[in-house]
Amino acid sequence: MTARRWRLDLGYDGAAFSGWAAQPDRRTVQGVLTEAITRVLRLPDPVQLVVAGRTDSGVHARGQVAHVDLPADTSADALMHRLARVLPDDVAVHRVIPAAPGFDARFSAVWRRYTYRLWDDASRPDPLLRRHVTLVRDHLDIERMHVAARTLVGLHDFAAFCKPRDAATTIRTVQWIGVSRAGDAAGTVEVGLRADAFCHSMVRAVVGALVAVGADRRSDRWLAEVLSSPVRHSQVIVLPPHGLCLEEVGYPPDDQLAARAAEARAVRTLPIPTPHPPSDQDHA
């Protein structure tokens, strides 16, 4: 059988899923999609899905991307139509297209963008939003949060904010963090983060730390002190998963996909500071 790689763009409400990755006796996004694709195409063996961001239990996705190798004669339109009929209503495949040469949904990505939504108003949020915003008891100073977040932008070791995993690096490049109030809901605070990749629980921990600053429970300097920790910081609170959504995944031009995948597979390291020659001021 000749195979061809396909790109899938999808979204899901993570409330009833135990995350993306397939697990025995657990309902997962990967498990549901694998079963559906294998069944509608009547394949002899389960398909192997690779995803851009392995979301945790309860985390939502609006712009998730995956790839799967299927028979070359697969019809994208037919697959879309059949999946729409069999998938549950909390997961949807928005697009199926042939993947460009060298495309890897995980390793070809140059960034992932998440939004964490908080509710800091004295009133209750719209009941339709209750599974997508996290309530905080303090009114948040979003300008202070926005300024403090600059400490985290750039190439850093984010071990202080990550759940450790064997042989996994915690070095990441955070490209942007923004904090704002949603225009259509005065009590909703949106914390947006974009990075080349995120380690396990990193986004929820970073937002938890920013909330502590925005609520004036921690000083602005505290965030820099946390970042310097070589291990998970005990004072950082990891927020619940339901406020988090994967919004979008970015990829380079098609002719750079394979090179980006090779680069992403390499182990990340922090640059070694270049020593400067001694000067009179050094001995003052």
Q: What is the pLDDT, as a whole number, of residue 127?
A: 87
Answer yes or no: same fold for 3-98 and 111-248: yes
Q: What is the pLDDT, as a whole number, of residue 79?
A: 96
Q: 162 near 138, Cβ under 8 Å?
A: no
How would you write the pLDDT of the chain (284 residues) with one tens digit per residue? 689 999 999 999 999 999 999 999 999 999 999 999 999 999 999 999 999 999 999 999 999 999 999 999 999 999 999 999 999 999 999 999 999 999 999 999 999 999 999 999 888 888 888 889 999 999 999 999 999 999 999 999 999 999 878 878 999 999 999 999 986 556 899 999 999 999 999 999 999 999 999 999 999 899 999 999 999 999 999 999 999 999 999 999 999 999 999 999 887 778 766 555 554 444 43
Q: If we measure between CA atoms, which residue out of 206, 150, 209, 156 comes closest to residue 176?
A: 150
The single-letter code of the amino acid at 256 is Q
Those residues whose C-beta lies under 8 Å from the C-beta of residue 230, and which sit 6 or more positions away, are: 157, 159, 160
Beta bridge partners of 69: 5
Q: 66 near 10, Cβ under 8 Å?
A: yes
pTM here?
0.92
Q: Does domain 111-248 have CATH number 3.30.300.30?
A: no
- The rounded Cα 181 to chain-centroid distance in angstroms is 21
Q: Where are the domains of the chain?
A: 3-98, 111-248
CATH of domain 3-98: 3.30.70.580
Q: What is the pLDDT, as a whole number, of residue 111?
A: 98
The single-letter code of the amino acid at 170 is T
Residues taking part in catalysis: 56
Q: Which residues of 167-180 are buried (b: 16+ CB within 10 A; e: fewer)?
A: eebbbbbbbebebe
CA–CA distance, 14 with 19 (Å, rounded to integer) = 7
Structure token digits, residue 278: 């001694």
